Homo-oligomer: A and B are copies of this chain.
Amino acid sequence: MDRLPGFRDFYPEPLPHPDVWSADARQYIFDKWRAMARRYGFREYDGPPLEPLELFTTKSGEEIVGQLYNFTDKGERQIALRPEMTPTLARMIAAHERNYKKPIKWFAIPQLFRYERQQKGRLREHFQFNADIFGESDVAADAELIALLIDTLRSFGLSSNDFVIRLSSRNAWEEFFNQRCKDSARAYEFYQIIDKLEREQPPQSEEKLAKLDFSFDEVESFIETGQPTAELAAILNNLKARGLSDFVKIDYHVIRGLAYYTGAVFEAFDKKGDFRAIAGGGRYNNLVKLISGGKVDLPALGFGLGDVVLLELLKARGLLPQFDAAPDAFCLIEDETLRGESLKFIQDLRLAGCAVEYSLTPAKPDKQFKRAQELKAAFTVKVERNATGETCAKVKNLQTREEKSLPFTEAPLMLIARKK
C-alpha cells in the first residue's frame, strides 16, 4: 500500500531512497524560520488545516477554485484543505483583533494543499513560513517585513550573491491600468497577464494584452523605465538604513497573482534563475474588511516562504548541514552484571539533558563500539567496578580518544560542557 500521489513521507537521515524527504532537513528549516520570526518580535499562531470552502472561493479570486483540494464532508459541508494561510489569518484577526495591541506581528508554519490536474512529481502539499503585520499602514511595516524575509534567508547561509527581493507596487500597476482602461472589472485579468509575462512567450502575452487594448510595448516600457513610487522609495530607504540594500531591487515584473493585494508587492528569487520564486508577499489592506463582512478594517501585509524551493536551493548551493543522530553519549554495557547500574547511569545522564544511546540487549563490546561510531556519538560512557567493588564512570571522547574515570555525578557535567 502506497501513500497518495503528491504527498510526502519524511524520513530520518541518511535517507533510504531518493523518493522520500528528510524529516531532519524539514525540522532544520522550521527551527530557523521560528528563530528569526521571534528575533523580529513575531508571535506564533495557527488555524485548522480544514476550512469552509467559501472562506477561499469568495475571497481569493476565482483562479483558486480549480486548484483547491476540496470535498464534501459527512455533514454535507463544503470543505477545503487550506491552500494558503492568509484567509484563515484574516478570519482570526477579524474575530479577536481588539484584544491585541497594534501593530500585530504574527507568524505561522502551516501545511498547505492544492489539487490540480495530476502532473508527475507535482506536489499537492507543502509547508510555508507565513509572517504578517496588521494595523500599520506606514511603509515602515513593509520594510520590517521584507527585512525579516531577507534575514530569514540569510540565516541559512544564503547571501546577496544567491538571492534578491524584487520589489514592485500593485498601486503603480493599478494607476497604469486606470490611465488606459476605464473598465476596472478587467483589472484583475490584466494583472494575471503581467504576472505570467516572464513565463509565457511574448506573442502569447501580446495577444492577451491586445484583447484588453493594451500594447505589449507600453507594458514592457513601463517595466523597464518605471521609477520607484514614493512608497517604494521609502521602503528602499528604510532597508538601506539597515544595511540591506544589496538584497533588494525594484522590478515591475512582479505583481503577485492573487486578487487581494493592494500596495507594495515583492518576490524573492535566486540570482541564477534556476528556481521558481522562493517567497512572495505584499500589502492586502482590504482583506480583513472583506472576510469580516465589513466589521473590522485593518491595514495588513505579509509574505509566504515555502519549504520546497528553499530546500532545493539550499541543496544546490551546498548549504544544508549533515544531519546525524549524533547523541552526546553511547553507553557501553560490556559486563552484563552491571546492566542495572548502567540503566541508572543512562537515566541520570538523560535527566541532566544529555542524549544517550545504548544497546537494548546484550551485544559484543566491539559491536557496541562500532554502533557508537556509526551514530557519531561524541563520547562513549561505561560503568566500571574497581577492585574494591566500587563503581565509577569511564568517559571517552571519540574524537580525541581521551579517556577519563569520573565519579557518576561529574559525567553529565562533562557531556553538557561539550554541547556549549
Contact = CB atoms under 8 A, between A and B. Distances in A.
A51 B20 contact: no
A290 B72 CA distance: 31
A72 B339 CA distance: 53
A203 B273 CA distance: 73
Contacts of A327: 41
Contacts of A69: 73-74
Interface residues of A, number: 93
Contact of A51 (B4, B340, B371): B4
A146 to B, nearest CB: 12
B325 A48 contact: no
A96 B23 CA distance: 14
Nearest to A58: B1
A231 interface: no
A61 interface: no
A84 interface: no
Which one of A8, A24, A101, A346 has the greatest number of beta carbons of chain B within 10 Å?
A346
A119 to B, nearest CB: 13
Which one of A38, A98, A350 has the greatest number of beta carbons of chain B within 10 Å?
A350
Contacts of A1: 52, 54-55, 91, 291, 293
A399 interface: no
Nearest to A125: B48
A403 interface: no
Interface in A382-409: none
Interface in A50-105: 50-52, 54-55, 69-75, 77, 79, 81, 91-92, 95-96, 98-101, 103
B43 A12 contact: yes
A26 interface: yes
A59 to B, nearest CB: 9
A98 B361 CA distance: 20
A217 interface: no
Contacts of A11: 45, 92, 96
A339 B74 CA distance: 56
A118 interface: yes
A50 B7 contact: yes
A347 B46 CA distance: 27
A40 interface: yes
Nearest to A374: B101
Given A17-B99, A140-B361, A23 B39 contact: no
A23 B46 contact: yes
A365 interface: no
A324 to B, nearest CB: 10
Contacts of A41: 325, 327, 355-357, 375
A243 interface: yes
B99 A16 contact: yes
Given A103-B360, A244-B347, A340-B241, A118 B75 contact: yes
A293 B52 CA distance: 38
A112 B73 CA distance: 16
Contacts of A353: 39
A233 to B, nearest CB: 15
Per CB-CB distance, the 4 closest pairs between chain A and chain B, nearest first, are: A16-B99, A7-B48, A12-B43, A16-B96
22 contacts: A3-B52, A9-B47, A9-B48, A9-B92, A11-B96, A14-B99, A16-B96, A16-B98, A20-B96, A26-B46, A27-B44, A39-B355, A40-B355, A41-B375, A43-B325, A71-B71, A73-B115, A75-B118, A136-B361, A138-B360, A241-B340, A242-B344
Given A74-B115, A242-B344, 16 more contacts: A3-B51, A9-B45, A9-B46, A9-B92, A11-B96, A12-B44, A23-B43, A39-B353, A41-B356, A71-B73, A73-B115, A101-B371, A136-B360, A241-B340, A241-B341, A242-B346
